[in-house]
């Protein structure tokens, strides 16, 4: 390796260290990069012309969001309702993602044979069953795949 190449590599490394120290580190791809953001609300998902609908966690209307322990929002309430109705958990639907919600989510993830890490994201959304309610005045609940 020539001296010029060694100097170039050293210069790049030094620049990365300086940028990092200034809070301007080099961007790296992370799994969260595919998400719109931290789930902060919910959307109403309806099965076409059936009168059956579910509340699904979302970030500003986009269902490609993530959340984990410490989250507090309507998105958490939507998840808690599903964990209670479809997985037999007994969570307070309080919108707070604490230890009980994390453990209930780990249970549901295990039932669906997906990564049981207690975090909510696209894999969990697309693989767990969701609590759908009939709106025709009956108020009955059923669980359906995404």
Instruction: Read off the pTM.
Output: 0.75
Exposed, middle or buried by CB within 10 Å (0-12, 13-18, 19+), for 73? buried
Beta pairing, strands 52-58 & 41-47: antiparallel
How far apart are the C-alpha atoms of 53 and 47, rounded to whole Å? 6
- pLDDT on residue 85: 97
Is the pLDDT assigned to residue 25 strictly greater than 80?
Answer: no
Instruction: Encode pLDDT of 126-137 as tens digits.
Output: 999 999 998 766
Exposed, middle or buried by CB within 10 Å (0-12, 13-18, 19+), for 23? exposed
Confidence of residue 61 (pLDDT cuts 50, 70, 90): very high
Listed by start position, the domains of the chain span: 1-34, 35-144
DSSP calls for 101-118: HHHHHHHHHHHTTS--SS
Is the pLDDT assigned to residue 101 strictly greater than 70?
Answer: yes
Confidence of residue 140 (pLDDT cuts 50, 70, 90): confident
Superfamily of domain covering 35-144: PGBD-like superfamily/PGBD (1.10.101.10)
Is the pLDDT assigned to residue 3 strictly greater than 60?
Answer: no
Nearest to 115 by CA among 128, 100, 131, 96: 128
The share of the chain scoring above pLDDT 90, in percent, equals: 64
How far apart are the C-alpha atoms of 108 and 88, rounded to whole Å? 9
């Amino acid at each position: 390796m020539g001296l010029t190449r060694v100097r170039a590599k050293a210069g790049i490394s030094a620049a990365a260290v300086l940028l990092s120290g200034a809070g301007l580190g080099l961007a790296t791809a992370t799994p969260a990069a595919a998400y719109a953001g931290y789930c902060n609300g919910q959307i109403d998902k309806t099965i076409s012309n059936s009168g059956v609908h579910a509340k699904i966690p979302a970030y500003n209307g986009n269902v490609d969001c993530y959340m984990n322990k410490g989250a507090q929002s309507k998105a958490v309430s939507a998840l808690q309702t599903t964990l209670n109705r479809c997985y037999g958990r007994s969570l307070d639907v309080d919108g707070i993602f604490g230890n009980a919600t994390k453990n209930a989510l780990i249970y549901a993830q295990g039932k669906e044979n997906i990564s049981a890490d207690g975090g909510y994201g696209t894999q969990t959304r697309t693989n767990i069953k969701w609590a759908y309610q009939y709106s025709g005045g009956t108020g009955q609940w059923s669980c359906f795949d995404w």
